[in-house]
Every structure is written in structure tokens, then in C-alpha cells.
Structure 1
Amino acid sequence: YLLEFRTTQCKNLPVDWIKINNTKTFSRYRTPFIEKKLKEKDLYNEKLLLECNLAYKDFLNHFTDDYENFKNVINKLSILDCLLSLSTVAAQPGYVKPIYTEENIIEVREGRNPITEVNKTTYVPNDILLNNENKCMIITGPNMGGKSNYVRQVALIGSYVPAEYAKLGLFDGIYTRMGAQDNIMSMFKSLNGQSTFMVELQETSNIMKYATPKSLIILDEFGRGTSTYDGIALAYSTLSYLLENINATTLFITHFTAIGSLENKFPQCHNYYMNYVEDKE
């Protein structure tokens, strides 16, 4: 709301006009009328802001009265959204309805990891069989060979499974230790001064404390956060404890070949290796 004049013209302007700013060539003014109206505008803006705040507080008070109703509606809508998403996925080709049983078993034929599959043009499916005779899988193999993807495809969400066949037991708990990069809470703990190794030990300790024979345990390269010899000792003793004292269904990924000797000590434990094809080009 400024009136702009060349500097050479300013000497003829009314004396009650208010100079706001100027440059070498131009000067800018407001008339008393404009100045008065701007002050009125600022006053009305303050009144408007005050009324808006009062209206918003009144809205919040009304919202608070019906908070539980809104909360229930949002929860129901979120469940409906999840069910619709699961039904959409279930209708896609390559998904099968799992058979659920009270047995301690995970049997999946030609299983796939749905997240990885979306990002790859080709995907090599894998079988998995965990039961009372094969209750612990020690999985080794090269880096980027698919070990972590393999243990993630245990398909326990309770919906259709990306596989040709799936038979799943009911577990009382699922306990995983997949690395700090896969766990937001682990990342926060690391930022708060706890080392990756300390977080790894704490989370594994909780698994050993709360898991039962009816639980599913997944440990991915436990012991990698410290030196090689210490890591081997920790991984060996931890898996030995799980097999001897808890005997839960367990998937244990490791690069420590010494862990494989536990197969000779525990009949329910077996070694598995992620195979690969070498491209000489």
C-alpha cells in the first residue's frame, strides 16, 4: 500500500504524507488515510486470530467429549483398511490359503518373500520345513545370497501366503533379532549412546528370557557386532542355550562355521547353506 514517486517529484507532495522508504531514484509514501486503514486492518487481524483460537479451542472441547467414539471409528477403519489390503493381495495369482494346525510346524513349498519379489524381475522360490525333528535351522551362505529374505518369508501374518503350499503352526510369540538397520527402536537406542553390540545383547537377552517351546525365534548374524572370536563364543553359547533349555522353533543365520558343530550335539538342529550360481562374466 505504497505510493511511489521519483525523488525529483517529492517536493510537491503534501507535507502530511509519510515517507516509508526510498532509493536513489524513487521514494515511497503513505497517505494519512492509508496509514489509518492499515492500523485498522492490523487490529481486525488480531481480533480474527483471537476468534479463530477461541473457535479452535471450542472445537477441541467438543472433540474431547467424543474422543472415545472417534478413537473407535479410527481403529475400525484402520482394521478395515488392512483387511481390504490383505484381500487384494490374496486375490493375486501365486498366493495360497495356509493350513493352520496346533503342531509346531512351518512347511512352505515354493515360498517367496513378497516385498523382495515386488522389486525383482526374477525371484528364486524356496521351500522351508520346520517341525519337531527339524526345529532349528543354522543357515550360512555368501553375503547378498538371500539368507535374510529366506527367514523373513515364514508367512505368519495370518493371511494368504506367496507359495504353492503352506502349513503353519500357531506360536505364542515371534522373537526376532535382524540387525539395527531393520529395527527403528534399535536405531533410537544407538543414537542414545548404546552401541550396536549392546543393543544386540539386550534384545537377544529378552528373547532368551521370554521365549517358550511354542515360540518362533529368528536371529540374523548374532555376534557380528564384536570381534570374531568373541562373536563365535557368544553365538555358540546362545544357540546352545536356546536348543537345550527352550527348544523353540529357531532360524539362526551366521557366518561362523563353528556354529555348525551344534548339529552333532542336538538332533533337532540341522545345517543349511544358501547355494549360489557363479557368473564368470
Structure 2
Amino acid sequence: MSDTVIGIIGGSGLYDISGLEGAEWVQVDTPWGAPSDQFFTGTLDGVKMVFLPRHGRGHVHTPSSVPYRANIDAMKRLGVTDLFSLSATGSFREEMAPGDFVIVDQFIDRTFAREKSFFGPGCVAHVSVAHPTCPRLSDAAETAAKAQGITVHRGGTYLAMEGPQFSTLAESKMYREQWGADVIGMTNMPEAKLAREAELCYASIAMVTDYDSWHPDHGEVDVTKIIQTLMGNADKGRGLVARLPGLLGAERAPCPHGCDRALEFAILTQPDNRDPEMVRKLDAVAGRML
């Protein structure tokens, strides 16, 4: 058994969490550069919590400029064991309405301008992301959402687009009708892939703000309406987060799904051939194996 440390990455509109004891903002340096912001740390119901506003306080990072590798590396350095992502999304499904939450279990990655791995020349690794989220954490997120009175949908495919523009109508219809995506956002990739490489259990909670551009009765994305829904979703998200420590508990057993052992057979470069500089940069992410 080990201590549970819950990490929260808050998306658009969610820049802090309330109720933490001993709360403080702390700076974390990483070999991958500066994270999005300082980390808000403290304890809640006896469980250590670590919160990061993905876009930075004041929303200074675009989806493409978010320093995803630094964010995940810093979470690992702070001892996080279980990472929850909350993010604003559009919906491709009538029943997944603005104000609803979706517990995502699959992704389609359409991003192209981001570094997607901690590994590279000098230390090559291939992890499986066939099932990119942790069912144990998804169970906790669903339970917390229902207890908070949130309309929540369990299971959904998140289409990650590069942005920062929203979809064209043609793209929106293709993602919905041909590709079978359920929600669309700009930030969960490569975040989920990096969390897996860092052997972190990861759950994605999509907070629906709009119907993208496919819906015949809603037309194109209306940013004013999105912001109104965003603020309501952020309040719901804070309530959901506050329930997680009580559900996960202060002591943590190994993940039954193996998320915390994802690198067990993933690193292919032989020890004698590993680049020492790469190994140094991987000290937090892959230190268990290296």
C-alpha cells in the first residue's frame, strides 16, 4: 500500500479548487520546461491534493501551447498517483447536452503541433494506450458526479482537435457521423498518452458546453453561451472534485488495471545504449524502470 495523492488538471473555467487544508501554490521545475502554472496543493479529507490550471491562471495558454510534458512530469514529481482531467468539450450527441458531464474512455487524436512522448532517440519506449483511461478512477468520477447531482454519461469517445478554431460544419458532421466520436475538445491529447507513459492512472471528465456545429437547431458555436455554461460546469466540477478523496481513500493499492506498471516491458533501448541526457530527463517519469 502507498499514500493516495490525487492530481487534478482543470480545464477552461476551472482555475482553482476550494476547501483544501494547508493550501499553497508551489513552483515545480522540470527538465521539460515550465508547467502551465504553479500547483495548488493541500489536503482534503486526509488525502493530499494537487491542482493545476491547464491554461494557467488568467487563461494564458492556447491548447497548442500548453506544456503537456512539463505538466505531467511535475505531477509525477509531486507524488501524484491518480490524475483526473476536467475539460470543456462540445457534444456530438443529442443526449449529451450542455451542462452534462461525460466520463471519457476512448480518444481519437487529431492533434499535430505537439510533442507527444517523453521518450525519443537514445531511449525508445512504446506503451499501450488501447484503453487510455483507468476504469477505477472513472468509477470514482461517475460516483462523485451522481452524488453531486450532475447528469453524467459513462463512456464516450473524445475527438482531440488541434484548434484553436472550432470545427467547420463538414468536420463536425464527419466526426459525428463517420467517425463515431461523442465529444470534441482540444486538450486531452497528448495529455492522456503522457500520463500513461508516466505510469499515472488517468481519468477524463468532459464537461459539455455546446453542440459543436453539427446540430441543426443550434447552429455554429456561440462563444457567449459557451462561457455561461462553462461557469456553471466549473462549479459542478469543484463539487465533483471535493468528493474524490472520500471515494479513493488515503491508502492506495496497486492499480488493478496495470496503469502504474505501463512501462514494465515498454522500454526497448538497451541500458548500454541509452543516452545519459535522456535518462536524466526521465528521472521522474520513468525512474522506476531506469
TM-score normalised by the chain length of structure 2: 0.25
**Higher relative contact order by CA 8 Å / sep ≥ 6: 1 or 2?**
2
Structure with higher helix content:
1
TM-score normalised by the chain length of structure 1: 0.25
Specify the structure having the higher radius of gyration (Cα). 1
